[in-house]
Amino acid sequence: MAIDVKLRCSECSTVLEKVLAAEEKELVCPACGRRLQNLTAEEHQEIETLQKNQRLYSIISLVLFILAVVCLVLWMVKTGDWPSNKDRQEASIGFFAGFAVLGIASMVLAFLGSRKRIIVEF
């Protein structure tokens, strides 16, 4: 499987984003033509596993964020008539607590999903 990396040439300092496949034999700088051997199979597998985990964290973070917004909307919406007080309506604190917990969990998972970027210098 291919991995998304930034390549940086150590001679001319050219930086480019590239999808790097394990089948490629060598890395080539488009500016100066410098060639270097591609990553080893172990390094490629390690980066691929890391990027899969980051993608999973990002997807879960997005789902939790949407659920947090739903809880916030439900907390803000009037919930109907209370039998004891017809003229007074109160918001449910449970929805606000759900919003807070889901929002914090979404932020933590988003941080974990975007924490590492791979830069390959050759």
Residue 89: predicted pLDDT = 56
Beta carbons of 95 and 73 less than 8 angstroms apart? no
The per-residue pLDDT for 62 is: 94
Q: Are 8 and 119 in contact (CB under 8 A)?
A: yes
Look at residue 9 and give its three-state secondary structure. coil
Q: Structure tokens of 104? A: 């914090």
* 14-67 pLDDT per residue, tens: 777 877 777 778 777 777 777 777 777 788 788 888 888 888 989 999 999 999
CA dihedral for 19, 24, 25, 31, sign (positive or negative): negative
Q: Across the strands, what pairs with 8?
A: 15, 121
Q: What is the pLDDT of residues 76-109, one digit of tens each?
A: 776 555 555 555 556 678 888 889 999 999 999 9
pLDDT value at position 14? 77
